[in-house]
Amino acid sequence: MSEKKGTSRREFLAGVGGAVAGLAVGAAVGWSLKPAEMAPPEVRTETVVQTQTVTQTVTAGPPRPFEGVKITALVHSGHQAVPWKKWSQVIKDRWGIELEVVETPPEDIYSKALLGIQASPPEYDIIQWNSAWIGDFEPFIQPLDEFMSKPEGDPGWGDIISGYRNFQNTWGGKVYSLTLDGDTFFLYYRKDLFDHPEERDNFKSQYGRELTVPRTWEEALEVAEFFTRKKGEKLAGSTLTKDFFGIADQLRRGRSYYWYLFRYVPYIAAARNGQGDYFDRDTMEPLINTDAAVEALEVLKRSKDLAPPGVLGFEWDELFTAAMKEGIIGMWIHWPDEGKRSDELAPLPVENPPKPQLGVAMIPGVEKDGKLYQYTIVDAAWVVSVVKGSKNPEAAYTVIKFITGPEASLENVMAPTDFMPDTGHDPYRYSHIHSYRFRKLKPHAVPLLDAYAEALEKGFPLLKIPGAFEYLDKLDLGISKYLAGEIMSAKEALDGVAKEWEQITDKLGRDKQKEFYRKMWELIG
């Protein structure tokens, strides 16, 4: 309902703009970009008249460089497809490009995209894909450097947060993609609890230091242990109506490896003087069963013991529900969603809860010799590329440059708004996190936006060589077996993972894998 109303407002604005200025493109841009919530109300009859004006002015405008060119884009179905459809009219109005959007569920994108781009001619001009698959996709996608070097070809490269530029878009020194969805991770904590005077006093008397947001995993475990309490005990000066847990991770089989890597990366970096790695770069021997790796897994196990009893079954929904809807978790690591939806945080489960407040911070790290090793995994996330062999690569590049560019992408990442329904896109540009409009429109997201810049400056890439999914799934299985008690020691679990990793490396070719792994670290700038 609000969507329909919003459209008519934009049409009104666009119509006025077109009539006054007589500029077709200007009218189209105004029609599409002006957020509905900022436009004045109007009546239905006016809307019809103004729509006609837009059509006329567009026709009378300057020639469109790709008039009649059809571009096919394979994209993630559902909410991620929304911006593609929403902007297709603008793309047509500005450049004359007919954008055909082919939707496919995320679990099918790898195989569908890979088969489609291997075909001759390729089935798609543009693909939305996961940056972890670069090792497999590289031969079939077009490096963007040439397009980007042309006049007006810059996609706002310097505006993309460096963590994404380096770890999602760049491969072997070339740019292969543009980020569409800035996934990363943050530590969320109950600020209402951390700020509570009684809790601060109790913590200080128990641990001999101030209660602060943990900077290291040892501190995090202390804080988690302090806050883990049973129903009927006191929390924030009031009686708990439910059990409360200091920390929770998302440990359901499938993606639990992320929550291990949040520990592994700082531990391995601290052990190797700041050089965090998955493999030895010279031999491709796994580092996943080193002492640092084992210590990281033991830290995860200790965290699990302070988490709700069902944490081994926690996927996104379960963690989000326990933390945000039930309010029974003190700290947790998750994607940016909670930060964007912090106004949904439930009160603490006590008789007289304080006003709920969500804190956003960097993921804890490891302190060694006075140096803090603290990282954020830059998730392998959705990016877009131009397919090699596309009949119209310039037009395809124009589309992805626009969709991921500063003006359109701000609307995408601010969604849901009256103008743009939910897209699932998270911020990835400096102009997103510093946007005046974003901060005014979603004041509850400001702590998240503030945390973004710091977090991404300390980004660490997820593994992205051929077979990345298999490596990580074998890691996930080993972790899951250890946490579930199928394997009794962390060392044994990780030795098993290392053995599996060696087998995958041999299967896919050690030298080739070594080459890919080195490419993964060849960054721009």
Partner 1 sequence: MVKTSNRLYAWALILPTILVLIVVVVYPLIYSLNVAFRNADLRIRLNPGEEYPFIGLDNFLRILDDSRFHDALLRTAYYVGLGLAIQLSAGLGVALLLFNLTKRRALVTALILPSMVIPVAVGWTGRLLFHPTAGPVNYILSLFGVEGIGWVNSAQYSLLTLILIDSWQWTPFIMLISYAGLLSLPQEVVESAKVDGAGGFRLFIHIILPLLKPVLLVAILIRVLEMLRAFDVVYVLTYGGPGTSSEIVTFYAFIAGFRYFELGYSAAMGWIIVILLSIILTLLVRVIRA
Contact residues toward partner 1 (CB under 8 A) are 107, 110-111, 114, 118, 120, 135-136, 139, 242-243, 251-254, 308-314, 317-318, 321-322, 326, 328, 466-467, 469-470, 473, 477, 480-481, 483-487, 508
CB of residue 241 to partner 1, shortest distance in Å: 13
> Bridge partners of 377?
460
Structure tokens at 292: 């640092």
CB of residue 46 to partner 1, shortest distance in Å: 45
Nearest CB to partner 1, comparing residues 25 and 319: 319
Nearest CB to partner 1, comparing residues 164 and 501: 501
- How far apart are the C-alpha atoms of 336 and 185, rounded to whole Å? 6
CB of residue 297 to partner 1, shortest distance in Å: 14
Nearest CB to partner 1, comparing residues 9 and 464: 464
CB of residue 473 to partner 1, shortest distance in Å: 6
Please, are residues 28 and 14 in contact by the beta-carbon 8 Å criterion? yes
Name the 3-class secondary structure at 171: strand
Nearest CB to partner 1, comparing residues 12 and 257: 257
Note the helical H segments in 385-443.
393-404, 406-414, 430-433, 436-441
Nearest CB to partner 1, comparing residues 270 and 288: 288
Structure tokens at 36: 């509905």
CB of residue 520 to partner 1, shortest distance in Å: 16
CB of residue 218 to partner 1, shortest distance in Å: 26
CB of residue 161 to partner 1, shortest distance in Å: 29
Pairing of strands 358-361, 234-235: unpaired
CB of residue 482 to partner 1, shortest distance in Å: 8
CB of residue 130 to partner 1, shortest distance in Å: 13
Note the helical H segments in 208-352.
217-227, 256-271, 291-305, 316-320, 337-340
Structure tokens at 189: 């904590």
In degrees and rounded to multiples of 5, residue 102 shows phi and psi of -105, 115
Please, are residues 194 and 209 in contact by the beta-carbon 8 Å criterion? no
Alpha carbon of 142 to those of 131, 145, 524: distances in Å?
14, 9, 17
Structure tokens at 29: 């841009």
Nearest CB to partner 1, comparing residues 243 and 277: 243
Please, are residues 266 and 292 in contact by the beta-carbon 8 Å criterion? no
H helices, E strands: number in the chain: 23, 17
Nearest CB to partner 1, comparing residues 68 and 309: 309
Choose among 186, 189, 190, 312: nearest CA to 249.
312
Nearest CB to partner 1, comparing residues 136 and 199: 136
Choose among 85, 126, 87: nearest CA to 109.
126
* Cα torsion angle, 384, 428, 344, 3, sign: negative
Nearest CB to partner 1, comparing residues 15 and 466: 466
Nearest CB to partner 1, comparing residues 187 and 329: 329
CB of residue 298 to partner 1, shortest distance in Å: 17
For residue 183, the one-letter residue type is D
Please, are residues 272 and 265 in contact by the beta-carbon 8 Å criterion? no
Residue positions counted in the chain: 525
Nearest CB to partner 1, comparing residues 273 and 503: 503
CB of residue 508 to partner 1, shortest distance in Å: 7
Nearest CB to partner 1, comparing residues 58 and 311: 311
CB of residue 323 to partner 1, shortest distance in Å: 12
Burial annotation 286-324 (CB, 10 A radius, 16+ → b, else e): bbbbbebbbbbbbbbebbbebbbeebbebeeebbbebbb
In degrees and rounded to multiples of 5, residue 194 shows phi and psi of -65, -30
